[in-house]
């Protein structure tokens, strides 16, 4: 039994070495999909102190995998090494989803990056997504109505880029290769 545990540990360590090899990552990266349209001015942009990389997360506010990647990306952002841009997929008539995205964009439009970061943490960190409670904690007035153009622009961008699942991650304009997951980025983007 102990021999198997040692083998498993060694295999995990060897895999971690491979996944943290920047040359292998670049090779896999060069084979992944390149973003065709720069999402300039779309979504929520969190500027790192000394960014070496741009990470774009395309997500949905009610997506559990999106909630799981949020703290990992937040941790990477906190190092100052990345700019993190968060785009949202279209609501396609889902009023609750559209209200939530509109609200997050309205919070960001106030220009307070700490407030935006806290709101994102509160939303994605919540075990149960409760828009009413979130809206009560972050009251808005006319800012919600002012988000329609941004919502439409994000929807158009997602369609042009053929975004078919969330979260979709782009690093420096290339989609995260399927051989990697978001946790691997902490070894690569340093």
pLDDT in tens, 71-87: 999 999 999 999 999 99
The predicted-structure confidence for 165-176, as pLDDT tens digits, reads as follows 999 999 999 999
Q: What is the pTM of this model?
A: 0.88
Average pLDDT over residues 124-149: 94
Beta bridge partners of 87: 58
Whole-number percent of the chain with pLDDT over 90? 72
Residue 68 has pLDDT above 90, yes or no: yes
- DSSP H or E segment with residue 159: helix 148-160
Average pLDDT over residues 155-159: 96
The band of 8, judged by pLDDT with boundaries at 50, 70 and 90, is low
> Residue 22's domain spans which residues?
2-188
Average pLDDT over residues 136-146: 92
d(CA 18, CA 72): 20
The pLDDT, as a whole number, for residue 29 is 74
The structure tokens listed for 81 are: 């090494």
d(CA 81, CA 70): 16
Which residues fall within 8 angstroms of residue 172, CB to CB, at 6 or more apart? 53, 54
Whole-number percent of the chain with pLDDT over 70? 90
The structure tokens listed for 101 are: 């995205």
Residue recorded with tokens 């498993």: 8
- Which candidate, 48, 39, 44, places its Cα nearest to that of 61? 44
Within 1-135, strands assigned E span 44-46, 53-59, 82-88
Which residues fall within 8 angstroms of residue 180, CB to CB, at 6 or more apart? 19, 25, 28, 188
d(CA 146, CA 169): 27
CATH number of the CATH domain containing 93: 3.40.30.10
Residue 14 has pLDDT above 60, yes or no: no
Q: How many domains does the chain have?
A: 1
d(CA 134, CA 126): 10
């Amino acid at each position: 039994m102990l021999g198997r545990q040692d083998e498993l540990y060694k295999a995990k360590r060897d895999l971690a070495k491979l996944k943290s090899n920047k040359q292998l990552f670049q090779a896999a990266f060069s084979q992944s999909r390149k973003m065709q349209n720069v999402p300039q001015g779309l979504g929520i942009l969190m500027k790192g102190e000394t960014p070496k990389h741009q990470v774009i997360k395309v997500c949905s506010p009610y997506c559990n995998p999106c909630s799981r990647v949020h703290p990992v990306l937040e941790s990477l952002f906190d190092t100052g090494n990345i700019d993190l841009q968060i785009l949202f997929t279209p609501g396609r008539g889902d009023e609750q989803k559209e209200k939530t995205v509109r609200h997050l964009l309205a919070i960001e439009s106030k220009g307070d990056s700490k407030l935006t970061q806290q709101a994102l943490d509160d939303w994605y960190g919540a075990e149960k997504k409760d828009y009413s409670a979130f809206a009560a904690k972050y009251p808005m007035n006319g800012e919600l109505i002012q988000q329609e153009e941004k919502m439409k622009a994000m929807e158009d961008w997602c369609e042009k880029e053929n975004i078919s699942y969330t979260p979709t991650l782009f690093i420096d304009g290339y989609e995260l290769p399927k051989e990697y997951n978001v946790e691997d980025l902490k070894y690569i983007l340093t």
